Structure 1
């Protein structure tokens, strides 16, 4: 049996906001963190696609956007790179807003797989749902539900939605897109496997094409901070003032990021950082402190699971410095 959480769905949710330190303090902390890790050359450039291996390993940028709309940044925060898997929670949020959380929960799943992000095993043996929207299989399944006729119309729908998160029109890195199309065989196999299970809607090849395009969108660390801050502010855009997604969709998206945002090291991340996050093999990480702020980081040197080394260390240090760890507490008296 499954626990019927819908029995408490009508109970109002209480949210207790907490403010960031002063803007000057946040900027000072970013400077300290950048100085601490700028010379750290641990990790390797991604070899998944040739274009990713040409990134400058010295690039390192940090940005924090509070829900008050104040942006703080340091280092290479305006250097462009491809968003890669960091796009997944935002694509999910757009589709959850369009189709409903419950439908995607049923068709795609929500639980961690405990397996690499491109694994087919989770699709074949998963007992708690087909997969989840933050690994490749689940992200492709999610994308397959985008409304519209044909690839181009559906691509415009999701690109426009992602641009609303960023507060600006996001461009496409054509070189990286072509590079990733050449190595998309596993994703195509995943899509066809899920189509056989009824998880992917429509043409699997079309779903992979749209998914690959979303991963090749160009962003900066500052963009990631802005996009994450929309989730931190309950779906409201702190800069443009637009309602991008509902409070409930923002909350569920953050829950998924806690569960599976950092691939198979998500549990370690939760212990060491204590916040929802999503990483990508392009070197970006978005980390969200609900009700307070979001952190965007960029450094292309990755650990063995595909997470940015400098980015992860920066998030851990800022979590401690700014009091952002959701699980940390002190005795009442």
Structure 2
């Protein structure tokens, strides 16, 4: 059986393609030349499984999506108190490039605006050259992505020619003694930070590292401590989408960060890392199509943080073959709450270890609840098993899946227990 998840992601892209609002970031020459019609999406589960669709091989600069991760690097290096003394965590309600500083101390209001990001970059090391700090950041993102990444030197050079406002902010920060390095060196290093080249799949894997509690899903290497992950995700939830953060949190409900090259990442702790790429930006500087795509994903997959149910440690409780030949049946016994990530493990179990018996049954006896996305995915699994030639049965004593129409009016047989199923066998 082929997984339905890539098909769904393709359908999301097809639906959102009609949105042609916004414009590319034209104040940086290299970004102004971006193809506005590029569009891609990727999901990475907490255990490292990747699903993607669209222009997944297209590389672009990470830009401001780098901010929460460099902030996390500073937290792990210096400790929470030392970083909080330099960078606050309050939403600014202002655009990313506003001069949002405390009136008395000059402390940036949060690490997601440019003032806070410049400060976090300066905290990485003392008296380091722009190239040295840039290498620190490149190495960090390579660890997060699980592969060696590079800095796009053309983007870095292009961005450095237009960075007057950041130099002004850095000079203000230096005047308040928030940091003591040369402001132009800090800005040059920060520009290199923003110029790390990634694909949408890299971004999803980077996001998946936070979703997995700071452990890179594919390599198993711990990149951030768990307290740092909690702090970073908290600030992303309240500040990651700038002056659209409140609207984002209420409608999408996923801690997120955007970048002016067109990327957006979202993290659902313990479940998913999500990334979308589309270069046209809305008035807040966020990818216009990316916002629409995230709204669709959140709605369809019940991903809003305030809606998320508890995730079972293993949704597939047991898999066994019962009965006598030639009427043996493969029984997949599920448990817990069936939402997207739990349903995805069922999909993967059937894809990775195909059913070899003619008859197959999904047993929902130990399932507590089935969310709408879980219903759709389970029914799609049943539909595809039917198309593969299997006789499909649903064991559903609590009627978690009433009227289990898998399409075209077809319904699997439904029994109340495994014993009833076996007793009904010819």
TM-score, normalising length: structure 2:
0.70
Residues 127 and 181 in structure 2, CA contact (< 8 A), matched pair in contact too? no
With 105-114 and 280-289 compared, the bigger mean Cα shift is at: 105-114
2:164 match: 185
Cα deviation code 1:202-240 (max 9, x no counterpart): 222111111110111111111110000101111011011
| In 1: Cα distance, 2:301 partner to 2:104 partner | 38
| Pick aligned residue for 2:184 from 193, 205, 216 | 205
| In 1: Cα distance, 2:167 partner to 2:48 partner | 40
Cα deviation code 1:271-327 (max 9, x no counterpart): 110010000100000011110011111000110111001111111111111121012
1:144 match: 122
Pairing 1:216-227 to 2, within 5 Å after superposition: 216-227=195-206
- Displaced runs of 4+ in structure 1, greater than 4 A? 126-129
3-state DSSP of counterpart to 2:6: helix
CA RMSD of aligned residues (A): 2.1
How far residue 127 of structure 1 moved from its aligned partner, in angstroms, is 8.4
1:81 match: 60
Cα distance change on mapping 1:79 and 1:321 into 2, 3 Å: same
3-state DSSP of counterpart to 1:169: coil
Cα distance change on mapping 1:23 and 1:148 into 2, 3 Å: farther
Cα deviation code 1:32-63 (max 9, x no counterpart): 21111123211111112111110001100000
Q: Could you say which structure has the larger radius of gyration?
A: 2
1:254 match: 233
3-state DSSP of counterpart to 1:274: coil
3-state DSSP of counterpart to 1:212: helix
2:278 match: 299
3-state DSSP of counterpart to 1:285: strand
3-state DSSP of counterpart to 2:151: coil
Pairing 1:16-95 to 2, within 5 Å after superposition: 24-95=3-74
* Unmatched segments (≥5 aa) in structure 2: 310-367, 370-426
Matched pairs, number: 310
| Pick aligned residue for 1:132 from 100, 105, 110 | 110
Q: Which has the higher strand share?
A: 2
TM-score, normalising length: structure 1:
0.88
* Unmatched segments (≥5 aa) in structure 1: 1-21
Residues 141 and 201 in structure 1, CA contact (< 8 A), matched pair in contact too? no
Residues 62 and 73 in structure 1, CA contact (< 8 A), matched pair in contact too? yes
Cα deviation code 1:84-114 (max 9, x no counterpart): 1011011111111111122212211111111
Cα distance change on mapping 1:23 and 1:142 into 2, 3 Å: farther
